[in-house]
């Protein structure tokens, strides 16, 4: 398979060349934030560091971390490195608690971001000949507009359909000949469901590839989406604080995670408890430093996402390091009777069971001092109309699988097909009733 690149020279740079670019960019970034962003300057002063102390890439480790709290404390624009006259756009991530985080972009940032999405699309084999069906939500969320500008930059035709109204989306896909789908993986499944309801066969569409991200999705979920939509599904990763989508992208040849666009973002993996930097291959919390962003640079931003880095070169020829699929966040982890479990691990088990539909929710409750977990999952129409005793057997079987594979005890409740609320963007997997 021949590789399609958007910026071949940068994506295939020998490591020494790449590291020398990274160092120059890091030094200029640290100087800029020290001069222009008061909270960063203060943190560096507190840590006894000046920009001149950054002499090698290793010296990055001398700099303090940045957390979501730092951004909240300086809400809305206190961490911007440019005046509002140079900012052309803001986005915000909703956040489940407290104030949202607001991020800003200059004209150049918007262009960098579009380039990164164009690279991502090329990684997935897309070209200017493609019809990109962009079902990421448009608005303060970075998904819609981020993907949109990148697809335009690639020269593809964009359908800015946003999330929702799934049946209309299927008609558009059919009539316009969409070839590339961009959406959350859970919304892709909702589209597949709408297709089924309309009696549209995926083979009657022109869809070839889906670029899915913004939420964790398991390998079994990937198989499910690929099968239901008759496409190849690849992963895209990003977060508003770093730029939005387009921080890392899985290529068609990769068997091991997504390429991080390292000429723009410097990744580290740390032990979330101690903050110690971990070597490649070890799993921990992802931390990013932006190397080229003007309006809203971040230094050692703690993402809370769990991953690890692979330094082996990829079959596609890109020399960029790869990050493992993100299976959870440090703040997503449930501790049920002392066992750690991530929703995506539960998903992986569920998706491996025949007759179970890819729509589920995890309900966490507290009984006395104990946390309990109930997994509600939809089953197919034919299974749901089966005898009660068969349903009971199936739910016991799933709960046993979860216990055997994840070591956690939970109740499994099989629910009516189409009874779990569908989302247009990120799916809500956990209903936490402990806080009520
Ligand atoms: O979700 C940006 C994005 C849009 C990425 C479209 C990919 C596609 P936020 O709303 O700020 O930004 O949420 C960022 O979503 O820290 C992860 O926890 C999660 N996330 C993003 N991509 C993935 C992925 C966008 N591919 C947060 N796999 C991140 C797992 C992901 N989790």
What is the 8-class DSSP label of residue 160? -
> Which residue among 119, 213, 218, 259 has the greatest number of ligand 1 atoms within 8 angstroms of its CB, and so is best to mutate?
213
In the predicted structure, residue 29 carries a pLDDT above the cut 90: yes
Query: Which carries the bigger pLDDT value, residue 255 or residue 245?
Result: 245
* Ligand 1 nearest atom to the CA of residue 94, by list position: 10
Residues 314 and 407 in one domain: no
> Which residue among 68, 72, 91, 214 has the greatest number of ligand 1 atoms within 8 angstroms of its CB, and so is best to mutate?
214
pLDDT at 436: 57
Residues 63 and 124 in one domain: yes
Residues 33 and 87 in one domain: yes
Which of 331, 364, 393 corresponds to the end of one domain? 331
Distance 368 CA to ligand 1 centre (A): 35
CB 336 within 8 A of CB 373: yes
Residues 304 and 351 in one domain: no
**What angle separates helix 15-36 from helix 38-46, to the nearest 10 degrees?**
100
Residues 298 and 415 in one domain: no
pLDDT classification of 216: cutoffs 50, 70, 90: very high
Residues 298 and 365 in one domain: no
Judged by DSSP in three states, 302 sits in strand
Residues 315 and 340 in one domain: no
Distance 159 CA to ligand 1 centre (A): 21
In the predicted structure, residue 64 carries a pLDDT above the cut 60: yes
Task: Write out residues with Cβ below 6 Å of ligand 1.
Answer: 93, 136, 141-143, 213-216, 235-240, 244-245, 303, 305, 326, 329
Mean pLDDT of the chain: 95
Please state, for a pLDDT cut of 90, what percent of the chain lies above it: 90
- What tens digit of pLDDT does each residue of 272-292 get? 999 999 999 999 999 999 999
- What tens digit of pLDDT does each residue of 166-210 get? 999 999 999 999 999 999 999 999 999 999 999 999 999 999 999
Which of 331, 346, 371 corresponds to the end of one domain? 331
pLDDT classification of 95: cutoffs 50, 70, 90: low
Tell me the CA distances in angstroms from 46 to 42, 67, 320, one per residue in order.
Answer: 6, 16, 34
Which of 331, 355, 385 corresponds to the end of one domain? 331
pLDDT classification of 434: cutoffs 50, 70, 90: confident
pLDDT classification of 96: cutoffs 50, 70, 90: low
Return the CATH number at 293: 3.40.50.12780
Please state, for a pLDDT cut of 70, what percent of the chain lies above it: 99
Alpha-carbon dihedral sign for residues 381, 383, 389, 395:
negative
Instruction: Name every residue whose Cβ is closer than 8 Å to that of residue 99 and which is 6 or more positions away in sequence.
Output: 72, 75
How are beta strands 232-239 and 209-213 bridged, if at all? parallel
Q: What total of structural domains would you count in the chain? A: 2
Separation CA 219–CA 72 (nearest Å): 34
Residues 137 and 200 in one domain: yes
Residues 256 and 293 in one domain: yes
Closest-CA residue, ligand 1 atom 4, reads 143
pLDDT at 386: 80
| Model confidence, pTM | 0.96
Closest-CA residue, ligand 1 atom 10, reads 93
Distance 239 CA to ligand 1 centre (A): 5
Residues 224 and 345 in one domain: no
Closest-CA residue, ligand 1 atom 16, reads 239
Q: Which two tokens stand for residue 276?
A: 């110690």
Give buried/exposed letters for 182-217 (b at 16+ CB in 10 A, else e). bbbbbbbbbbbbbbeeeebebeebebbbbbbbbbbb
Residues 320 and 341 in one domain: no
Residues 191 and 114 in one domain: yes
pLDDT at 390: 86
Separation CA 235–CA 216 (nearest Å): 10
pLDDT classification of 368: cutoffs 50, 70, 90: confident
Q: Which two tokens stand for residue 396?
A: 């016991």
Distance 143 CA to ligand 1 centre (A): 9
How far the first Cα of the chain sits from its last, in Å, is: 53
pLDDT at 149: 98
- What tens digit of pLDDT does each residue of 338-352 get? 899 999 999 999 999
Return the CATH number at 354: 3.30.300.30
Closest-CA residue, ligand 1 atom 9, reads 239
**What angle separates helix 142-154 from helix 107-123, to the nearest 10 degrees?**
70
Mean pLDDT of 211-235: 97
Question: How far from the centroid of its chain's Cα atoms is residue 200's Cα?
Answer: 29
Separation CA 75–CA 204 (nearest Å): 49
State which residues form the domain around 363. 334-435
**pLDDT-wise least confident of 183-192, 308-317, 370-379, 386-395:** 386-395
**pLDDT-wise least confident of 319-323, 361-365, 367-371:** 367-371
Mean pLDDT of 212-228: 96
Question: Which of 427, 432, 407, 402 has the alpha carbon at shortest distance from 217?
Answer: 427
């Amino acid at each position: 398979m021949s590789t399609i690149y958007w910026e071949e020279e940068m994506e295939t740079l020998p490591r020494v060349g790449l590291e020398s670019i990274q160092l120059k960019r890091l030094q200029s970034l640290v100087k800029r934030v020290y001069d222009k962003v008061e909270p960063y300057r203060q943190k560096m002063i507190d840590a006894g560091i000046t920009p001149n102390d950054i002499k090698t890439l290793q010296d990055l480790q001398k700099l303090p971390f940045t957390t979501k709290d730092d951004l909240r404390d300086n809400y809305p624009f206190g961490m911007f490195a440019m005046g509002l006259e140079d900012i052309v756009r803001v986005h915000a991530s909703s956040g489940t608690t407290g104030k949202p985080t607001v991020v800003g972009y200059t004209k150049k940032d918007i262009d960098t971001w579009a380039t990164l999405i164009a690279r991502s699309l090329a990684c997935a084999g897309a070209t200017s000949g493609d019809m990109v069906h962009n079902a990421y939500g448009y608005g303060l969320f970075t998904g819609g507009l981020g993907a949109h500008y990148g697809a335009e930059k690639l020269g593809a035709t964009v359908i800015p359909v946003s999330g929702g109204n799934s049946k209309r989306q299927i008609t558009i896909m059919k009539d316009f000949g969409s070839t590339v789908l961009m959406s959350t993986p859970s919304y892709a499944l909702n589209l597949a469901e709408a297709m089924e309801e309309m009696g549209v066969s995926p083979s009657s569409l022109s869809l070839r590839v889906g670029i899915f991200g913004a939420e964790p999705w398991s390998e079994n979920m990937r198989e499910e989406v690929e099968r239901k939509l008759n496409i190849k599904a690849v992963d895209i990763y990003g977060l508003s604080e770093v730029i939005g989508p387009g921080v890392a992208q899985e290529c068609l040849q990769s068997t091991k995670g997504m390429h991080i666009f390292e000429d723009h973002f410097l990744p580290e993996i740390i032990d979330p408890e101690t903050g110690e930097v971990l070597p490649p291959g070890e799993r921990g919390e992802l931390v990013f430093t932006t190397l080229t962003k003007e309006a809203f640079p971040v230094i050692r931003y703690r993402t809370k996402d769990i991953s690890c880095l692979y330094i082996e070169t990829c079959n596609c020829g890109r020399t960029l390091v790869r990050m493992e699929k993100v299976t959870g966040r440090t703040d997503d982890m449930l501790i049920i009777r002392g066992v750690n479990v991530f929703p995506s691990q539960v998903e992986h088990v569920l998706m491996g069971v025949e007759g179970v539909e890819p729509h589920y929710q995890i309900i966490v409750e507290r009984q006395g001092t104990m946390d309990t977990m109930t997994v509600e999952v939809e089953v197919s129409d034919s299974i749901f109309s089966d005898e009660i005793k068969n349903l009971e057997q199936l739910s016991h079987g799933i709960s046993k699988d979860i216990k055997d594979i994840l070591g956690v005890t939970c109740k499994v409740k099989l629910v009516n097909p189409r009874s779990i609320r569908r989302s247009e963007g990120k799916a809500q997997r956990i209903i936490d009733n402990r806080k009520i």
